[in-house]
Amino acid sequence: MAKFAMKTELGASAAAVWQAVGNFGGIRAFIPVVQACTVEGKGPGAVRTVTLDGGAVVTERLEARDGHARIITYSILTSPLPLEGYVATMRVNELGKNRCELSWSCTFEPKGASEDECKRIIEGVYTAGFGGLKKLLEAAP
């Protein structure tokens, strides 16, 4: 089982960041390549269908969500990515009044690509998500 993790500090409150990442259907607000997102069901077991630029579709399931601890875990059910068994967790930790840290980690099995290639793909998604959150939530100087 391969593992990958990244984290970033954001100039926004932990509550504001959690409002964005804790909303299972709200991924379009901070992942730039997401064109559409629909959710079926509520709570753990809910399934979101994400349509990306170019028409690729990713189906994900909410595995766990803890609003008090600000932790959300989801898995990929189907995708065009060269991996399987992907399970990711996003955790928001308060660092101060308007500062927090967002960690995003996952486990997966490469399928049709090397582990390093898979990690580069995931890094691109996480980097885009962090950038999208900064654009969405951080006040302009």
pTM: 0.94
pLDDT over threshold 70, residue 139: no
pLDDT digits (tens, 9 = 90+) for 19-76: 999 999 999 999 989 999 999 999 999 999 999 999 999 999 999 999 999 999 999 9
Name 136's Cβ contacts closer than 8 Å, sequence gap at least 6.
20, 29, 30
> What are the helix (H) ranges across 9-62?
14-21
pLDDT digits (tens, 9 = 90+) for 67-120: 999 999 999 999 999 999 999 999 999 998 899 999 999 999 999 999 999 999
pLDDT over threshold 90, residue 122: yes
Q: What is the pLDDT of residue 138?
A: 86
Name 141's Cβ contacts closer than 8 Å, sequence gap at least 6.
none
Q: What is the CATH number of the domain that holds 7?
A: 3.30.530.20
Q: What is the mean pLDDT of residues 4-28?
A: 96
How far is CA 45 from each of CA 12, 57, 62, 65, 72, rounded to the nearest angstrom? 29, 19, 5, 10, 12
Q: Which domain holds residue 91?
A: 2-137
pLDDT over threshold 70, residue 141: no
How many domains does one find in the chain? Answer: 1
Task: Characterize the bridge pairing of strands 47-52 and 57-66.
Answer: antiparallel
